[in-house]
Amino acid sequence: MKQPGRGRARGQPAGEHTDEIDGGRRQRRPEPVLAKLSPPRLHDVYRRSRLFVQMDRAHRSATATWIAAPGGSGKTTLVASWLQARKLRCAWYRIDRSDADPATFFHHLSLAVQRATPRRRRPLPRLALEHFDDLSTFSRNFFRALGSRLPTASVLVFDDVHEADPRLHELLCAGVQELAACVHVVLISRAAAPATYARMRANRELLTLDERELKLREPESQAVARLLSRNRARPDAAQVRSFHERCEGWIAGLILLLEGAASGAPHEAGLDEAGTQPLFDYFAAEVFSHRPPADRDFLMHTALFEDFTVEMAQRLTGNANARALLEDLVRQHHFTERHGIGQAATYRFHPLFRHFLREQARATWQERDLSARQRSAADILEALDRPEQALDQCLDAGDHAAAVRLILANAPSLAMAGRFGVIETAIGRLPDSALEGEPWLQYWSATCERMTDPATARERFIGAYRSFSMVEDARGCYLAWAGIMECSAHIWDDLQRLQYWFAEFDSLERRFQGRVPLDVEERAVGAMFVAHVVFHIVEWDAIGKWVRRAERIARQGSDVNLRMVIVAALGLYYQWMGELTRYDALLEVTLEQAKGSSATPLARLHVALLECQRLLLQGEPRRALEAIRDAAALAESSGVRVLDRQICVYLVYAHAQSGELPAAHVALDRFRALMTPDHKLSQWYLAFMHGYLVALGGNLSQAQEHVRQALRIAEAGCTSMPIALAQLSLARLLVQSGSIEEARVLVESALIRVRPMRSRLFEVEGRFVQALLHIRAGEEAAGIACLRRAFALMERHGFRSYAVRDDSFLASVCMLALEHDVHAATARELIALHGLIPGEEATMAHSWPWPVKVHALGRFEVLVNDAPVRFAVKAQRRPLELLQVLIALGGRATPAEEVMELLWPHSEGDAAWRALEVTLHRLRKLLCCERALVVQSGKISLDARYVWLDTWALERWLAQGDAGKPPAAAMRVLALYRGPFLGRDAPPWALPMRERMRSMFLRALERIADAHVRHARVQDAIDCYRRGIEADPLCESLYRGLMCCYARLGRHSEALAAYERCRALLDTQLGVAPSRALRRLHRRLLNEASSVTRVTRRSAAGCT
């Protein structure tokens, strides 16, 4: 869409233009010096030494100098002459109304710096859309880079700072402070420094020269008069004194009075309270009226330009004497500046003078004549590649057709430079009829609003799409469609409407096959894939073909930023699907690309988030925290804040999975502050993450309410994956709360939704929930099957975490896996990786990889990380005694006084306490676990999260009762009792615990055996009694039960043998005989055995 006359000829170097002369031959000429980017060329100026001294002082001691005085006070000339006198290098920038657009300001400022330092090729940062959320940070970075590019002790001048709006003042203030160490800044304004600079003023970083100091003293007025009267009659000193008093030291007024005196114009006026412009207009009118008509016409024509060359003036006015006239104005100091020299010289009228001349033109010319001259000026500006100034002229002239043409020709390059404000302002000056009749205007208007008002932008993209479709504009249709997708992904509101646009794109591809540029097609395909991921439409039938095309763009696409966006979306998709090998390959390539010099901060941020996702999925939240903090620092330092919400999401999960709940809540609060209230995806994340954090804090009922809210939001948006994720999380909470049936319905619904997605990650979580649900409902076989499926998926796909990891839930799942020997190695790996802590019910789980295990029943054995500890008897006797005492006293909240009384009964209080402290330290060291022992408020505890005791396990199981427990499970637990507490030779203080454990065990064993007998499982009862006898060979009640069971089965000989064994052990071990009850049972069994023998013999005799 580039128009003729725009840009350079192919192969033509920057900085030169070509003109067509001599029958088509081209001759090189230098590029004009833009007045905006260069200081004025000085001609016979009065050097104001008094002010130079103050400028020198400010240059040495402050970061910046603010020069504030009304127009025509000589501010610009003062600074230019001071720079010239001190031979200081400078970059000059004149602020105008176009700088209200930050992108335009930074773009033109880059050009000014490039002009000041042509040999330094390193580019300055370019403002992009992603920087607009934090312009102050971008400004600081830009000025920091600018300071490194300018030579030391250079001066950066900002002229006409009064034209800056409040936002630009904020950017200037932020940036100027970055230059304190290397570059002095001078700001020239008609107004005092606003409050934005108050801190700089208070810190003496900003010094001010005001109107009072800039006013001419009388001797200075006399010197100016002498300078201006070199080639004409000089007024006498009294007349100059009179002029000085009337002007009150205002240099513009003095020059006009001196000019009026030379031309014979009256000069009775003096300063009044109306301001400098009315007074200037009065004086200038008097002087202007005495100029020849041709000169007046020339001045009014050239005042249409902000700045201009001799060639431009000649083309517009037809005046062949333009150079001489302009040089005369410069020489006579008639408010005309010259920038540059020779053919490259550019001229600019003082703003007061230009305003006066434009008003004269409006009063002199008819409206149609003024418009015609403005169109002529626009043609000249366009031909010289000054499209923005040409556009202003067309709009001022009301030539909307030409304005539309210029907007459309230059919008792509302006957008590439991030200067959307220029496009938006220009379109805003057009009538509605122009916008309605041109789809590309609708497209660019929507593009400008896409980040600030996506809902309005989407409607405009839709309008543009309809218009493009009517005229068969393939490129326009694709780009407008991509805009609709990008806005929809941001709004996240209506899946049904989105499905319509998905189908529309299929129609587009059939309709315009092969007629769309590759870069345009890539943008549309990228928008399609990202929309599928953002809306979680990941059913393979819907997303499959877009995955393949997105992968190609991620590897070969021409737009780096688009590639990074697609890479981030692919990363999410791969982790959902469990394709972690492809994920890792993609991440490796992307990391290399992000290190390249062409990678933008936004691209690097996308890669950082991708790496964080991977680390969370690997179960490494600490490393993920480091990665996300690096990403947050990059966002802060670069000013790219468009991904701040995503950063907060990852901070919430990384902190939560690292066990840092307060920090996770802080990150959630920041997310809440950043979110747009009507953005449904943000609402879903807020409710879902809040529920997640509350659940981790232990409030399951409140967590359920938040997750139910997230489920309602997801169901309103009709998106499958958020619905499934909310259903799984709610089901998990319900299972943990004991609401099994509601959880069953939710998890089955979630798995049905997940199935067409082929998401292995969500299936893992669903199967885990199902497994725990079935086990707690008593459906052990179904639970084990689900557990086996989930762990098989984890091993196959390399998962070491899942979507929303809850460590207490995962610990329960791993405990089930260990108890039932389902992928036990993987369960142990997960426990070690995440540092899982078992719940209270795990106290019985001997298979859990406890840091410390202690067997005290039947023997005393300590295992650290499942390896037996070998003790050096003498050196470690006291720490082991301490451990035994703590177990004997219950292991929980044991008063230190009781421990000291048992171990150091003869020591004084302080000595006993010191001995206890030393022994505790030695015991911790022996157990290789600092957290195994807790000392609080004078009480000592073994921490049940890190220490397993067989006494605790047995006590907990026995306290629950044996009703409803499977016999096999009961026997596994009773197997813990291998004999008396601390073995046969226990010290006296162990006897209470010893007897307590023994009696509890025997009662439980007998209850189980009785239950077996009642259910006719006599052999199981026999096994039970035998197990008891192995643990306590001297327990008569066990022998009695065993003998009765044998008798029931008619195995009298075995019953009698059991009695003989009991009698022998009691005699040898204790020197006593069996009890009377056991002896009676023995006699009864003997009689029964004799009767059986007699009956058998008679039967045998009868047979013979």
Q: What is the CATH number of the domain that holds 1098?
A: 1.25.40.10
Q: Which residues, 6+ apart, have CB-to-CB distance to 940 below 8 Å?
A: 886, 893, 894, 895, 896, 899, 920, 933, 934
pLDDT of res. 422:
87
Residue 1053 makes CB contacts below 8 A (sequence gap 6+) with 1089
Place of tokens 């009792």: 977
Residue 513 falls inside a structural domain = no
Which two three-digit tokens encode residue 679?
């953005």
The pLDDT assigned to 1103 comes to 46
Rounded to whole angstroms, the Cα distance separating 38 from 80 reads: 10
Q: Are residues 923 and 816 in the same domain?
A: no
Q: Nearest CA to 791 among 781, 800, 803?
A: 800
pLDDT of residue 274: 44
Please identify, among 150, 184, 214, the residue that sits at the C-terminal boundary of a domain. 214
Is 356 among the domain residues? no
Are 444 and 407 a contacting pair, CB within 8 Å?
yes
Of 255, 289, 323, the position where a domain reaches its end is 289
End-to-end CA distance of the chain: 123
321 phi, psi to nearest 5 deg: -95, 25
Region for 7 from its dihedrals, namely left if φ exceeds 0, alpha if ψ lies in -120 to 50, beta otherwise: left
Same domain assignment for residues 1080 and 946:
no
Q: Domain count for the chain, please give it.
A: 5
Predicted pLDDT at 42? 84
- 855 and 782 in a single domain? The answer is no
- 8 Å CB contact between 614 and 584: yes
Closest-CA residue to 380 (of 335, 334, 322, 431): 322
* Residues in CB range of 990: below 8 A, 6 or more apart: 884, 888, 981, 982
| Residue where the block lists tokens 């014979």 | 264
The whole-number mean pLDDT for each consecutive block of 10 residues of the chain, a chain of 1104 residues, reads: 34 34 40 74 86 92 91 90 91 90 89 82 78 84 88 90 92 89 90 91 91 90 82 77 84 79 54 54 65 89 92 92 89 82 85 87 91 94 90 92 92 85 89 87 91 87 93 94 88 75 90 89 90 74 84 84 83 82 78 66 80 82 89 83 87 90 94 83 90 91 94 81 89 90 92 84 89 89 92 86 78 87 89 80 72 88 86 71 90 89 83 89 87 89 88 78 54 72 82 86 82 85 84 84 88 88 88 88 84 57 46
In a domain, 254, yes or no: yes
DSSP string spanning 65-91? EEEE--TTSSHHHHHHHHHHHHT--EE
In the prediction, which pLDDT does 873 show?
58
808 & 866 share domain: no
Q: What CATH number is given to the structural domain containing 152? A: 3.40.50.300
pTM here is: 0.72
* Separation CA 787–CA 812 (nearest Å): 11
Is the domain of 799 the same as that of 842?
no
CB 920 within 8 A of CB 935: yes
- Written as six digits, the tokens of 843 are 């106290």
Q: Please tell me the number of Cα atoms within 13 Å of 634 on its side-chain side.
A: 21
How far is the CA of 839 from the CAs of 557, 729, 812, 944, in angstroms?
A: 51, 19, 7, 9
| Short-list 191, 193, 189, 192, CA closest to 170 | 193
Last residue of a domain, one of 198, 214, 230: 214
Are residue 228 and residue 206 in the same domain, yes or no?
no
SS (H, E, C) 524-552: HHHHHHHHHHHCCCCCHHHHHHHHHHHHH
- Check whether residue 46 and residue 182 sit in a common domain: yes
CB 539 within 8 A of CB 724: no
- Tell me whether strands 861-864 and 852-855 are parallel, antiparallel or unpaired: antiparallel
Please, are residues 91 and 156 in contact by the beta-carbon 8 Å criterion? yes
Query: Is 109 inside a domain boundary?
Result: yes
- Does 142 lie in the same domain as 232? no
Is there a contact between 260 and 83 (Cβ–Cβ < 8 Å)? no
Which residue, chain included where needed, has tokens 């009294």? 238
Q: Give the strands of the sheet with 867-868, arranged side by side.
A: 867-868, 861-864, 852-855, 947-949
3-state secondary structure 814-861: HHHHHHCCCCHHHHHHHHHHHCCCCCHHHHHCCCCCCCEEEECECCCE
Question: Does one domain contain both 236 and 194?
Answer: no
949 lies in the same domain as 971: yes
Four-residue CA torsion sign, 168, 169, 175, 179? positive
Q: For the residues of 568-631, what is the DSSP string, one character each?
A: HHHHHHHHHHT-HHHHHHHHHHHHHHHTSTT--HHHHHHHHHHHHHHHHHTT-HHHHHHHHHHH
> Domain check: are 809 and 853 in the same one?
no
In a domain, 799, yes or no: yes
Residue 324 lies in a domain: no
Range of the domain at 1003: 837-1009
Rounded to whole angstroms, how far apart are CA atoms 671 and 665? 10
Tokens at 77, concatenated: 């000339």
Q: Using DSSP, state whether 981 is helix, strand or coil.
A: strand
CATH label of the domain that carries residue 853: 1.10.10.10
pLDDT, residue 810, reads: 87
Please give the backbone phi and psi of residue 859, each rounded to the nearest 5 degrees, phi first: -165, 175
Q: Report if residue 240 sits inside a domain.
A: yes
Does residue 656 lie in a domain region?
A: no
- Same domain? For 207 and 246 the reply is no
Name residue, tokens 């989407």: 458
Query: Which of 577, 574, 569 has its CA nearest to residue 531?
Result: 569
